[in-house]
């Protein structure tokens, strides 16, 4: 073959060899697909122990139900499928340190799900939406609506 055909091939082979060498030296040796196959994709095997040593930030709704009666009434409401921590934040230090569990009464929290969308998106059209600028824009949602009983209005 002519020399002008081999030159680009040398460049391609050189780039491939360099990328393999860089991969060999930069990626950890335990990185890849392990026992489970591609179920979990690529991960570092040594990372499992690191994640297991970290304390859990979230707890189950059953943990909340041990002390809080709202979880019983919430189970019969339209918000039953929502984890307590979606609204109240991670319960890592609770109940040992009760003030760590935040209660967000701002409109933005409710509008994450209840802002009116003009198009159906993944079943989101079944969630009652409001126009945030037209529906009491300067009031907190929890002033009129109880999140644990969303179909009932709060009596002032």
Q: Are residues 65 and 40 in the same domain?
A: no
Is the same domain home to 132 and 92? no
Residue 153's pLDDT is what? 67
**DSSP 3-state assignment of 53?**
helix
> Residue 62 and residue 47: Cα distance in Å, rounded?
29
Of all residues in the chain, the percent with pLDDT exceeding 90 is 11
109 and 146 fall within a common domain: yes
Domain count, the chain: 3
Residues 115 and 147 in one domain: yes
Q: Which of 68, 84, 103 is the last residue of a domain?
A: 103
Tokens 């209840």, residue? Answer: 114
For the chain, helix, strand, coil in percent to 5 are 40, 10, 50
Residues 129 and 94 in one domain: no
78 and 111 housed in the same domain: no
What is the tens place of the pLDDT at every residue in 2-59? 778 888 899 999 999 999 999 899 999 888 888 877 777 888 888 888 888 887 777 7
> Residue 48: which domain range?
3-53
């Amino acid at each position: 073959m002519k020399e002008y055909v081999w030159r680009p091939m040398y460049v391609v082979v050189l780039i491939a060899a360099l990328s393999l060498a860089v991969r060999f030296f930069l990626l950890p040796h335990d990185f890849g697909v392990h026992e489970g196959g591609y179920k979990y994709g690529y991960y570092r095997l040594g990372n499992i122990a690191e994640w297991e040593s970290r304390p859990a930030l979230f707890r189950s709704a059953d943990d909340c139900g041990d002390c809080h009666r709202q979880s019983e009434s919430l189970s019969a409401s339209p918000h039953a499928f929502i984890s307590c921590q979606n609204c109240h934040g991670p319960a890592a230090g609770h109940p040992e340190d009760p003030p760590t569990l935040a209660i967000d009464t701002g409109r933005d929290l409710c509008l994450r799900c209840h802002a009116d969308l003009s198009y159906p998106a993944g079943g989101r059209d079944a969630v009652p939406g409001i126009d945030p600028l037209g529906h009491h824009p300067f009031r907190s949602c929890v002033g009129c609506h109880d999140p644990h009983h969303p179909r009932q209005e709060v009596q002032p």
